[in-house]
Amino acid sequence: MTYTDSAPLKAVTPAQMTSVTDYIDTQARNYADRVFLVAPDSSESLTFGQLQQQACAVAQFIARQGVARGDSVAYAMQNGPCCAVVLLGIIYGGYRAVAINLVAGRDVIAYVLNHSQTALVLTQTDIAAVINEALLCDAYTEDSIRSEAVISTPPVIPVDYNAVRAWVNEFKGVSTGTSLGSDDALLMYTSGTTGRPKGVTLSHGNLIAGGQNVVTGHELSERDRALCVLPLYHINGLCVTLFGPLVSGGSIVLPKRFSTSAFWQLVDEHQCSWFSVVPTQIAYLLRDADINPDTQPTAQRQHLHFGRSASAPLSPDVHGAFERRFGIPLIETMGLTETAAQILTNPMPPLIRKLGSPGLAVGDEVIIADKNQQPVCADVEGEILVRGPNVMQRYFRNEVATSEALVKDGWLRTGDLGRKDKDGYVFVTGRLKELIIKGGENIAPREIDDALYQHADVVEAAAFACPCDDFGQRVEAAVVLKTNSSLKEADLINACERRVGQFKCPDKIHFLQELPKGPSGKIQRAKILDVVRA
């Protein structure tokens, strides 16, 4: 059975499903044989009925280890059916799932496991050594992160998909209990480019609202199939391409990792109707198309309705180049870990999409506010604030950060600067903490980024602040060029000066093989200065 011959979903009111557990149970009860997940690397597939059985079995296995409901259980896994089922099983059983970023580095992993008060780690055999090393390093116990005098190291249990399927028979017929929409479901740590990462606590209701925002904003139905090429320890991969199909009753194709050479083959072979990527991946797909033009698509497929860009601002020039090259509508959106992903999205074709904007609020409220958190007029810059059922509960064990972020009347301060036009479209202009202050004048790095992206040879670009005796800070930039490009620094500086003026123009441009990035592929601007000075 494919996603194209499914019966329509039966109407279920939101009041009937307040938790992730409710959604899994309801989809399994009504559509047990409908395929929910396809893993192309192993040729595995998973129906909604099997998902419910396996999630329940994972929950029972955790209970067998003596973990109490509401405690933190970490998952450290590569994408695939085992990762999806373990993640959903942790939440299904009423535990707090702790996402472990596999590329964060030993000390960050140690901090997350300690700060989250993780009681159990479920991982894969080839990752277990990394987790055990983190638990043994000094970073696991430093700063007296726990209130207990004695640190209790959690068990690390390797799990594969065969084990999960075996648990189904072992725990058959055993109930896991019920979960409420207000119960903690997910603890995901921000990338922490400055200082320690913060643990974002999302409830069952937050995750469902996040998934519903994706469904509503992109008009998804049970007939849609997503290609997920982002890790499930990142909010985009998890809330958008896992919870979107869970809420809509659709399906997901889940390879282990993103590959430019396999991307379009997976789209075609599995008849994916949409995908979600980050701007860096968009740039890589464009670069691969230049290198291997004979293997790339040149026209829109009938089954592929749209692509989706999120997690970082998308340059209008890159956006336009992608649509011209591949003939696929690319929908720019905006989301945060603190909001269970999506808060803004451009409308679906044929409605108006504005390049350079992540769009309109869908499923929540978004305002542009002044320093007193009061709305400003159209086209006036301010901080982007969001309010809605998808907004996080708190920063885990961090009351100060929580009180700074969650302000009066339920508004969340995003830390992003932007403006809203007369039609309600939001334009992101920068980050509060990333502004370059040159001679007392505020300069948004995004403006310089866009000027650099004007050149067709620029694959990645990021402007950043560099200390300066004369102005306090000066503008510099780092770029990655297409293979075999002959572009010179002077060419880019001249182009920038024409676009943004001499004052904002970078004094120096650094040519790098790759810009520093977080786990989602988002460029980490704050780390570039250290890279170019190394």
Residue found by looking up tokens 């920038």 in the block:
496
Task: Give the residue-averaged pLDDT of 114-119.
Answer: 96
Decide which of 472 and 269 is more confident: 269
pLDDT at site 300: 53
Which range has the worst mean pLDDT, 149-153, 266-270, 381-385, 429-433?
149-153
- 301/299 Cα distance (integer angstroms): 6
pLDDT at site 412: 98
Q: What stretch of H or E contains 11? A: none
Positive/negative CA dihedral, 111, 116, 117, 122:
negative
Residue found by looking up tokens 């978004």 in the block:
366
pLDDT per residue as tens digits for the range 210-247: 999 999 999 999 999 999 999 999 999 999 999 999 99
pLDDT at site 520: 65
Residue 140 class from Cβ within 10 Å (0-12 exposed, 13-18 middle, 19+ buried)? Answer: buried
End-to-end Cα spacing for the chain: 55
Tokens of 367: 């305002």
pLDDT at site 192: 53
Decide which of 519 and 508 is more confident: 508
Q: What stretch of H or E contains 353? A: none
Q: Are 196 and 111 in contact (CB under 8 A)?
A: yes
- Residue (of 318, 113, 332, 120) closest to 218 by Cα position: 332
pLDDT per residue as tens digits for the range 249-303: 999 999 999 999 999 999 999 999 999 998 889 988 998 888 887 666 655 578 9
SS (H, E, C) 12-28: CCHHHCCCHHHHHHHHH
Strand partners of residue 385: 367, 413
Please state, rounded to an integer, the average pLDDT across all residues of the chain.
90
Which range has the worst mean pLDDT, 153-157, 270-274, 422-426, 442-446?
442-446
- 98/120 Cα distance (integer angstroms): 10
pLDDT at site 299: 53
CA angle 415, 419, 421 (to 5 degrees): 150
At position 109, the amino acid (one-letter code) is: I
pLDDT at site 379: 96
Encode 364-376: b = buried (16+ Cβ within 10 Å), e = exposed: bebbbbeeeeeee
Confidence of residue 13 (pLDDT cuts 50, 70, 90): very low
Confidence of residue 6 (pLDDT cuts 50, 70, 90): very low
Confidence of residue 178 (pLDDT cuts 50, 70, 90): confident
- Residue (of 96, 156, 152, 99) closest to 126 by Cα position: 156
- 80/253 Cα distance (integer angstroms): 9
Residue 333 has pLDDT above 70, yes or no: yes
- Give the distance, in angstroms, between the CA of residue 515 and the centroid of all CA atoms in the same chain: 19
pLDDT at site 36: 98
pLDDT per residue as tens digits for the range 21-39: 999 999 999 999 999 999 9
Decide which of 425 and 13 is more confident: 425
pLDDT per residue as tens digits for the range 101-113: 998 888 889 999 9
Task: Give the residue-averaged pLDDT of 454-458.
Answer: 90
CA angle 135, 139, 142 (to 5 degrees): 115
Positive/negative CA dihedral, 188, 192, 198, 203:
negative
Q: Please tell me what DSSP assigns to residue 68.
A: P
- 313/427 Cα distance (integer angstroms): 9
Domains located in the chain, CATH noted: 18-209 (3.40.50.12780), 435-533 (3.30.300.30)
Task: Give the residue-averaged pLDDT of 509-513.
Answer: 95
pLDDT per residue as tens digits for the range 360-372: 999 999 999 999 9
Q: Are 500 and 506 in contact (CB under 8 A)?
A: no
CA angle 52, 206, 108 (to 5 degrees): 90
Tokens of 92: 């299904």
- Residue (of 461, 463, 378) closest to 424 by Cα position: 378
pLDDT per residue as tens digits for the range 47-98: 999 999 999 999 999 999 999 999 999 999 999 999 999 999 999 999 999 9
Residue 147 has pLDDT above 60, yes or no: no
Q: Is 282 helix (H, G, I), strand (E, B) or coil?
A: helix
- 341/234 Cα distance (integer angstroms): 10
User: For residue 350, is the peptide bond before it cis, meaning its omega torsion is within 30 degrees of 0?
Assistant: yes
- Residue (of 279, 267, 278) closest to 237 by Cα position: 278
- 311/332 Cα distance (integer angstroms): 10
SS (H, E, C) 106-175: HHHHHHHHHHCCEEEEEECHHHHHHHHHHHHCHHHCHHHCCCCCCCCCCCEEECCHHHHHHHHHHCCCCC
Tokens of 330: 């690319």
Decide which of 149 and 127 is more confident: 127
Q: Please tell me what DSSP assigns to residue 10.
A: P
Decide which of 375 and 431 is more confident: 375
Tokens of 193: 């480019």
- 186/205 Cα distance (integer angstroms): 11
Q: What stretch of H or E contains 264? A: helix 260-269
Task: Give the residue-averaged pLDDT of 398-402.
Answer: 95
- Residue (of 462, 520, 38) closest to 258 by Cα position: 520
